[in-house]
Amino acid sequence: MSPAVQVVPASQAEEILDVLCDAFSDYPVMRYVLGSKPDYASRLRALVGLFVGARVAREDLMLGVRDDTGSLVAAALVNLPGGKIPPLAFETFRQSVWAELGEEERRRYEAYGTASNGFHPDEPHHHLGMIGVRASHHGQGLGRVLLDHLHTVVEADPGSGGVSLNTELPRNVELYKYFGYRITGHARVAPDLETWAFFRPGQARAVDAT
């Protein structure tokens, strides 16, 4: 029996942050944006905290899986179709994070955003921003559990055309194809960083297209 996926409320956002910092500690985008300055762990937490904070501010979807002890061990951040405009307080928070991380880091992040955007459909759809599993729980299929749950959510939402995502790990390209995603774009952000955009249409859209 697969572990249950739960919607994680904003009050538990710190748990989401803990999981994603563990899962993305060596991820190419994080290494590229943060560079080689010291105190990588705390700077990573600030950057991932910005991503989590954005979902909380927009009231997007945060999913999680807990182990037998009740600890969160896998998590996903999902932008909802349409998306709410975050309150003004979030902009203040965003500026404070970049002031802490630095202008060069901000420019690298914007370069990544420019390269990775523009490949996804214009129609309203879900976007999987981050999905990660604690290193201690790799190999248990928890990423698949989260993906399957998200796909079920999308199928039940008539306002969503499907799911988009990006990956910067070459080994994930065939994996996402296996789960029904198709490549919608590819770009090289920097000599040691490239990104692939994917989209998985909802079942109704897939049927219409046949």
- pLDDT 10s digits, 34-72: 999 999 999 999 999 999 999 999 999 999 999 999 999
Do residues 134 and 22 touch, judged by C-beta distance below 8 A?
yes
> pLDDT tens, 144-188?
999 999 999 999 999 999 999 999 999 999 999 999 999 999 999
Using CB atoms within 10 A of its CB, is residue 18 exposed (0-12), middle (13-18) or buried (19+)?
middle
Mean pLDDT value of segment 24-28? 97
pLDDT for res 117: 87
Three-state SS at 140: coil
> pLDDT tens, 118-144?
899 999 999 999 999 999 999 999 999
> pLDDT tens, 86-112?
999 999 999 999 999 999 999 999 999
Radius of gyration, alpha carbons of the chain? 17
Instruction: Tell me the average pLDDT of the chain.
Output: 95
pTM, entire model: 0.94
